[in-house]
Amino acid sequence: MAWFLSMEVWQQALLASLAMYFMTALGASFVLFARRPKEGVFTLLLGLSAGIMIAASFFSLLLPAIEAEGRLPAYLPVTAGFLLGGAFIVGSDALLSRRQRAFRAMGDRRTALLYFAVTLHNIPEGMAVGVAFALAPLGEGAAFSALLLGLGIAVQNFPEGMCVAFPMRAKGMSPVKSFLFAQGSGAVEVPACVLGALAASLVGAVLPWALAFSAGAMVAVVCSELIPECFSGNKTLASLGVVLGFCAMMLLDVALG
């Protein structure tokens, strides 16, 4: 612990972000060894993805946005950011519908939206960890809290990597491409985390907006794409997947957050 605390803040943030990225890549790597899932398995995976994203939108994004200190009352940036995030996905959905051919590499419009939403939400998550490390010099307790936050996000990144990779694989993408796209969704956390550590005062001011924006984007994707898709098949498996995914992410966030 002493050697870690002796590092510069941005170096601590870099190491933490690399660990977070590694867990995303580790979860995504399972697609390299697993066969293309059957319809029932795919329905369950989509349900898990939906449950994980719903829980993450609250416990990892909205709740920290509400608790973040700022000049404005908490409900203003959270509500406005959430609405803007939802509107962003609605607009992106319309744009992707017109430019479907440009996103064939990701399988289809639905898969592209899922990928963009997960990648988008990783940016403020990385920034939040960076800001936490910027506060670490205030005391060992603050440093431990930053480490715990990074650990919690790293653990939740493992199922997230799987939930991006397997839907791509199910839509016909090769295992290698599915892995590369999925691990890329976590790579954005590295620069975001370092930026958060280097510009803590500036990032801290916009962090509630960014967190709420990402939460709105994730909920919009879940409601418009994942829920209709998984419940068009076996509703029992879909419901089971949503509940299990939500419980798993809630457990990780509450226990490690």
- Tell me how far apart the alpha carbons of residues 214 and 123 are, in angstroms, rounded to a whole number: 9
The answer to whether position 15 is within a domain reads no
Asked, for residue 69, whether it belongs to a domain, the answer is yes
Is residue 2, in this structure, part of any structural domain at all?
no
Would residue 215 count as lying in a domain? yes
Q: What is the domain extent for residue 203?
A: 39-256
Total number of domains constituting the chain: 1
Give the start-end residues of each E strand in the chain. none
188 in a structural domain: yes
The model's pTM: 0.68
Contact yes or no for 189/21 (Cβ under 8 A):
yes
Q: Is residue 30 a part of any domain in this protein?
A: no
pLDDT recorded at residue 57: 80
Q: Please answer whether residues 169 and 31 qualify as being in contact, where contact means their C-beta atoms are separated by less than 8 angstroms.
A: yes
- On the CB side of 25, CA atoms within 13 Å amount to 12
> Strand, helix or coil at 81?
helix
Q: How far apart (Å, rounded) are the C-alpha atoms in residues 257 and 151? A: 8
Q: What pLDDT score does 239 carry?
A: 92
- Return the pLDDT at 2: 67
pLDDT value for 41? 74
Per-position pLDDT tens, the chain of length 257: 567 667 788 888 889 899 999 999 998 998 888 766 677 777 887 788 788 778 878 887 788 788 876 677 878 889 998 999 888 878 877 776 665 555 555 556 667 777 777 787 788 778 878 877 776 665 555 566 677 777 767 877 887 788 788 878 877 788 898 899 899 988 999 998 888 888 766 676 777 887 788 788 878 878 877 788 788 878 898 899 899 989 987 887 777 65
Q: Is residue 201 included in any domain, yes or no?
A: yes
Whether 136 maps to a domain, the answer reads yes
What pLDDT, on the 0 to 100 scale, is given for residue 69?
A: 64
Which tokens in the block code for residue 222? Answer: 């879940």
